[in-house]
Structure 1
């Protein structure tokens, strides 16, 4: 893989991942076949900032959890009104890291 393409990909998508994962992603992308490059670019990464805003506005309805793919937790949050507000409040501090973790899991499916 061309290192300029990989560096450009990381510069434009760095906010979607934890900073400590960026070197690992770069190394794995450099080893990747050119044929998988288009699949990597087509991965639907969720923006942690957008998910945080949704969590603040409608977190007690579980919409933030549905958006990152945690359907079971989204239903639980919906049925308990965000754990009577406590769970929704805790998610304000955790949802951005959870979103980045989910993005990393999506990417790792293609990097193996």
Structure 2
């Protein structure tokens, strides 16, 4: 893969990954062929900031967990009313990191 394309991809999508994951993502992108790179653009990466806003607004209803694909935790959070509010508040601090982990998992499945 062309280094310029890789750098452009990382500039555009770097916010979807943790800082320590960026070098691994760059290595995978450099080793990737053009067909795989085109397939990579089709995956749906979630924006951590958007998920945080959803968590603040609708975290008690577990909308944030449903959006990132944590269905089991979302059902548990929904049934316990956000862990009586405690789980909802804790998610405000960890949901962005969890979103980036889910994005990295999706990326490495393709790459």
In the superposition, the TM-score normalised over structure 1's length comes to: 0.97
Q: Are 1:24 and 2:58 counterparts?
A: no
Mapped partners of 1:29, 1:66: distance in 2: 29
The C-alpha deviation readout for 1:6-30, integer Å capped at 9, x for no partner, is: 1000000011000111111001110
The 5 Å alignment of 1:19-98 reads: 19-98=19-98
Q: Deviations over 1:72-104 (max 9, x none)?
A: 111111111100000000000000000000000
Kindly report structure 1 stretches of 4+ aligned residues shifted beyond 4 Å.
none
**Rounded Cα–Cα distance in structure 2 between residues aligned with 1:29 and 1:15:** 16
| Pairwise CA RMSD | 0.5
State the Cα distance separating 1:43 from its structure 2 match: 1.0
- The whole-number CA distance in structure 2 between the counterparts of 1:81 and 1:53 is 18
Gaps of 5+ in 2: none
Equivalenced residue count is 111
Alignment match, 2:102: 102
Give the secondary structure class of the aligned counterpart of 1:46: coil
- Compute the displacement of 1:41 (Å): 1.1
Structure 1: any 5+ residue segments left out of the alignment? Answer: none
In structure 2, the partner of 1:13 is 13
